[in-house]
């Protein structure tokens, strides 16, 4: 009898575990395949096929504006079955909420439906030099220093943290590390009062500089105030804004997104290309033409989706740069596409294969998995190399994304972000 009870409990446990696993897989697939946001162009019919056991409704006061499956819906509450393919069209720009219900019964989540004007971008693919100054002096880390007495000190321990931005010293604003070091010397070992920004919050702290054997005063902190590099210009909008990289500029030491004060992008000259190979990503080695004549534009924002800013009015695009419509997530298909870049001295569209699409919002910069199939590009770079981040991805004569990362173990493969993610940041 006791054995039967134990056996029954084991069976029940396995049954409950199976139910939990099924629910987990269902929720995982729902999150992976159902985006948090959908964009459609006004007066253009968009097709969707989620094949998920969900019912949805759109609540709107704009009666008769939204059409489902090519049928105008007069009601202010529009019902959709996500288990079947469907189309959406709106005759008016606006924002709506799609309410999702699992099996038509359980409230699951809301999707933002944005109806926007047609957007056209000029896909570029040109190498650019990037120069930015941080918004404050970036703290990289702390270290011990040896004082004039021969003892080791760590004056910044628990006072400055990696990722902090120093804004002022003794109420005096500082932007360059040279100025900061000069102010520390002026203290002659007296306490200094630092104003910092840490995770968006402004705080103050006091530190006592230590005199070293060389006669200098130090606080034992590694700092940085600017950075430079090579990347790829993704697009220029028809109203003079630009987007590049497809991912943000992060500090090499802290790994955090850099908070910038100002920056510029310039024309860059490619000097050589180090081919990528297994375990070692390749690299474009270039020279930044950092002068007014070759300045393309000003950087205004550094975001997880790339850098954005305004194009210099004097910057002239080449004649081959033509605007293309953007392709939204739902329009991206597995199979042939192209990336545009300049690794041979001129702009070329190289063939790639889109192998995986993840329209969820779990990782904005890795929504597309691509594989380089063009033998010309493979012969030059070995695949995707550092410096190609931002290369626009084009499919069916629409710009659909940008290259963001390379697979370390296979340089022929990499990730891309959807162009609508970059447009969201541009807006």
Q: Answer for the pair 29, 54: CB distance below 8 angstroms, yes or no.
A: no
Alpha carbon distances (Å) from 130 to 23, 122, 294, 296, 338: 47, 20, 12, 10, 25
Q: Where are the domains of the chain?
A: 1-33, 34-116, 120-131+227-426, 144-219
Q: Note the pLDDT tens digit of each residue in 80-118.
A: 887 888 888 888 888 888 888 776 677 777 888 888 888
What whole-number distance in Å separates Cα of residue 143 and Cα of residue 141? 7
* Mean pLDDT, the chain, whole residue set: 86
pLDDT of residue 322: 86
pLDDT of residue 90: 84
State the catalytic residue, choosing from 168, 226, 247, 264. 247
Q: Note the pLDDT tens digit of each residue in 325-342.
A: 999 998 999 999 999 999
Q: Answer for the pair 387, 286: CB distance below 8 angstroms, yes or no.
A: yes
Domain 144-219, second-level architecture: Roll (2.30)
First to last CA, the chain: 69
**Residue 180: exposure state from Cβ atoms within 10 A (0-12, 13-18, ≥19):** buried
Output the DSSP codes for 179-237.
Answer: HHHHHHHHHTTS-EEEEEEETTEEEEEEE--EEBTTS-EE--EEEEEEEEEEEEEEEEE
247 assigned to active site: yes
DSSP 258: P
Model pTM above 0.95? no
Q: Answer for the pair 394, 303: CB distance below 8 angstroms, yes or no.
A: no
For residue 254, pLDDT over 80 is answered with no
Q: Note the pLDDT tens digit of each residue in 128-148.
A: 999 998 888 999 989 999 989
pLDDT of residue 279: 80
- Topology of domain 120-131+227-426, CATH: Thrombin, subunit H (2.40.10)
- As given in the structure block, the two tokens for residue 134 are 């941080």
Q: Report the DSSP pairing between strands 120-142 and 165-169.
A: antiparallel
What whole-number distance in Å separates Cα of residue 214 and Cα of residue 200? 37
State the catalytic residue, choosing from 135, 216, 374, 410. 374
Q: Report the DSSP pairing between strands 165-169 and 192-198.
A: antiparallel
Nearest to 183 by CA among 218, 213, 148: 218
Partnered with residue 353 across adjacent β-strands are 336, 371
What whole-number distance in Å separates Cα of residue 46 and Cα of residue 68? 10
Q: Answer for the pair 140, 340: CB distance below 8 angstroms, yes or no.
A: no
389 assigned to active site: yes
Position 207 confidence tier, pLDDT thresholds 50, 70, 90: very high
For residue 412, pLDDT over 90 is answered with yes
Instruction: Considering only residues 49 and 333, tell me which one the structure prediction assigns the higher pLDDT.
Output: 333
Position 217 confidence tier, pLDDT thresholds 50, 70, 90: very high
With the C-alpha atoms ordered 334, 335, 340, 343, is the resulting torsion angle positive or negative?
A: positive
What whole-number distance in Å separates Cα of residue 101 and Cα of residue 57? 9
Position 74 confidence tier, pLDDT thresholds 50, 70, 90: low
State the catalytic residue, choosing from 156, 264, 389, 411. 389
Alpha carbon distances (Å) from 161 to 138, 166, 187, 230, 303: 10, 10, 22, 28, 22
Q: Answer for the pair 286, 386: CB distance below 8 angstroms, yes or no.
A: no
Query: 307-330: buried (b, 16+ CB within 10 Å) or exposed (e) per residue?
Result: bbbbbbeeeeeeeebeebbbbbbb
43 assigned to active site: no
pLDDT of residue 334: 95
For residue 260, pLDDT over 60 is answered with yes
What whole-number distance in Å separates Cα of residue 16 and Cα of residue 9? 10
pLDDT of residue 193: 94
What whole-number distance in Å separates Cα of residue 111 and Cα of residue 31? 12
Would you put residue 13 in left (φ > 0), alpha (ψ -120 to 50) or beta? alpha
- Topology of domain 34-116, CATH: Immunoglobulin-like (2.60.40)
């Amino acid at each position: 009898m006791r054995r039967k009870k134990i056996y029954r409990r084991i069976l029940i446990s396995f049954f409950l575990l199976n139910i939990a696993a099924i629910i987990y897989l269902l929720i995982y697939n729902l999150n992976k395949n159902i985006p948090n946001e959908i964009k459609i162009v006004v007066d253009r019919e968009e097709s969707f096929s989620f094949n998920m056991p969900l019912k949805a409704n759109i609540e709107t006061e704009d009666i008769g504006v939204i059409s489902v499956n090519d049928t105008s819906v007069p009601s202010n509450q529009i019902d959709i079955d996500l288990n079947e393919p469907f189309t959406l069209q709106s005759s008016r720009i606006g924002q709506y909420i799609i309410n999702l219900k699992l099996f038509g019964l359980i409230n699951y989540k809301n999707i933002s439906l944005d109806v926007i004007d047609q957007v056209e971008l000029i896909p570029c693919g040109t190498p650019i030099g990037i120069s930015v100054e941080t918004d404050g002096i970036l703290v990289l880390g702390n270290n011990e220093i040896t004082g004039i007495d021969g003892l080791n000190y760590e004056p910044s321990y628990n006072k400055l943290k990696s990722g902090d931005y120093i804004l002022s010293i003794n109420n005096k604003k500082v932007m360059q590390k040279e100025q900061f070091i000069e102010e520390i010397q002026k203290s002659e070992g007296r306490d200094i009062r630092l104003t910092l920004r840490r995770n968006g919050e402004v705080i103050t702290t006091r530190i006592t500089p230590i005199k070293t054997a060389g006669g200098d005063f130090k606080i034992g902190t590694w700092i940085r105030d600017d950075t430079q590099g090579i990347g790829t210009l993704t697009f220029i909008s028809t109203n003079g804004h630009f987007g590049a990289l497809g991912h943000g500029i992060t500090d090499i030491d802290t790994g955090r997104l850099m908070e910038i004060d100002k920056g510029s992008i310039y024309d860059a000259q490619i000097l050589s290309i180090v081919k990528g190979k297994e375990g070692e990503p390749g690299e474009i080695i270039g020279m930044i033409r950092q002068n007014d004549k070759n300045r393309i534009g000003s950087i205004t924002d550094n975001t997880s989706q790339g850098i954005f800013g305004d194009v210099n009015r004097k910057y002239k695009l080449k004649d081959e740069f033509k605007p293309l419509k953007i392709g939204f997530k739902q329009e991206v298909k597995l199979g042939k596409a192209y990336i545009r870049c300049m690794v041979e001295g001129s702009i070329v569209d190289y063939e790639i294969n889109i192998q995986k699409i993840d329209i969820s919002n779990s990782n904005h910069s890795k929504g597309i998995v691509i594989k380089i199939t063009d033998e010309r590009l493979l012969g030059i770079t070995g695949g995707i190399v550092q410096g190609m981040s931002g290369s626009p991805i084009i499919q069916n004569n629409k710009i659909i994304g940008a290259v963001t990362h390379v697979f370390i173990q296979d340089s022929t493969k990499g990730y891309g972000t959807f162009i609508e993610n970059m447009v969201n940041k541009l807006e």
